[in-house]
Amino acid sequence: MSEVPREVTELAERRQVARLARDFQLADVLRDEIAAAGWVLLDTPDGFQLAAKPPFRSHPTLADALLDPTPAGRSDCGVGLIVDGWPDDVRTCLTALLAFAPSTVQIIVLDLGNVDGAGLVAHEISLESQGRVRVIHVAQALEQVGWGRACGALIELDPAPAHVVMDLSSVLTGDAITPLLNALTEPGVVGAGWRGTNVDLSDWRSVVDAGPGEVDVLLGYLMIVDAVAARATPPSPKAKFYRNGDLEWSLMLRAAGGRLVVPTGSLPVVQARHRGYHDSDPELRGRESKRNYDRLLQQFRGRVEILAPRSS
């Protein structure tokens, strides 16, 4: 990693003082001077971080990315990927998508913070993808943005009529997108996924694996949603962490009148190490997962009418 020149650090320190004094005009001027010197400044809870400026444009915040007028390519289906590190996983997942997803599918990568150079890997692959991979770079980290807001932004940025929510740990070994797209043509279906679960009605405190057919919940490892339904009912912006956020979103979609299904037959997908769970901060994971599930219970506990039909 390049050493930050002392004069750049001094600019960042002056900017921090300006922000604390609420002199935002001066703070913006100093940020521009830092950028002109070839460095990117990222605000953190403890102050700031400086990194060498990468060979791509990065939006300061997710809100700025949503205002970007850059036109998106039209496609039958978009795949949204949140990237917050793990460059090897980024390369593996994107390479598999380009190999096995239909050519009419566009991949939209939301790079949050270029952690460990993961955004740079996505950028390099996009240059070789003949327009199939679009990367939106944001200086904020996932912990600042939150899973729900990041997913919602990808849905907004995707002009396709169907949108795939996918985790980097899900690696295609064949075309798993087309069966999910086909499932969306069933009456009333707004979402289809690789894996589904049903609420345990004995206490609503857990879910149990469900087989093919209509389900209460689709898991965010790999699922497709109707874009109109997803924009009308996006994931909760309060879901800062993914775990139980996909459960809450699924029940929100069902409460809005949509059906969720798991297609018959196995899909050509394998799951690599799920970094979002195994390599996340345990305290953050536990706290935010509980908040998501507590919010789910407040909204939906006892509302059996929104759940998938149960066999008698």
Q: Is residue 231 classed exposed, middle or buried when 0-12, 13-18 and 19+ CB atoms within 10 A define those classes?
A: middle
Reduced to 3 DSSP states, what percent helix, strand and coil does the chain have, rounded to the nearest 5?
40, 25, 35
The boundaries of every CATH 3.90.550.10 domain in the chain are 63-306
The pairs formed by 283-288 with CB atoms below 8 angstroms and a separation of 24 or more are: 284/143, 284/241, 285/241, 285/243, 288/239, 288/240, 288/241, 288/243
**Residue 312 has what pLDDT?**
58
Residue in 191, 192, 199 with CA at minimum distance from that of residue 257: 191
- CA–CA distance from 19 to each of 2, 16, 29, 46, 63 (Å)? 26, 5, 11, 13, 19
**Residue 2 has what pLDDT?**
67
Spatial distance between the Cα atoms of 105 and 116, rounded to a whole number of angstroms:
27
Spatial distance between the Cα atoms of 153 and 137, rounded to a whole number of angstroms:
12
Spatial distance between the Cα atoms of 90 and 93, rounded to a whole number of angstroms:
5
CATH no. of 63-306: 3.90.550.10
Joined tokens for residue 248: 């809450």
Q: Rounded to 5 degrees, what are φ and ψ at 175?
A: -80, 95
Joined tokens for residue 107: 């991949």
Q: In angstroms, how far is the first alpha carbon of the chain from the final one?
A: 62
- pLDDT tens digit sequence for 260-293: 999 999 999 999 999 989 999 999 999 999 999 9
**Residue 148 has what pLDDT?**
98
**Residue 42 has what pLDDT?**
78
Residue in 177, 286, 279, 288 with CA at minimum distance from that of residue 222: 177
**Residue 49 has what pLDDT?**
83
CA dihedral 50, 52, 57, 59 (to 10 degrees): -10
Count of CB atoms situated within 10 Å of the CB of 142: 23
Low-confidence ranges of the chain (pLDDT < 70): 1-2, 312
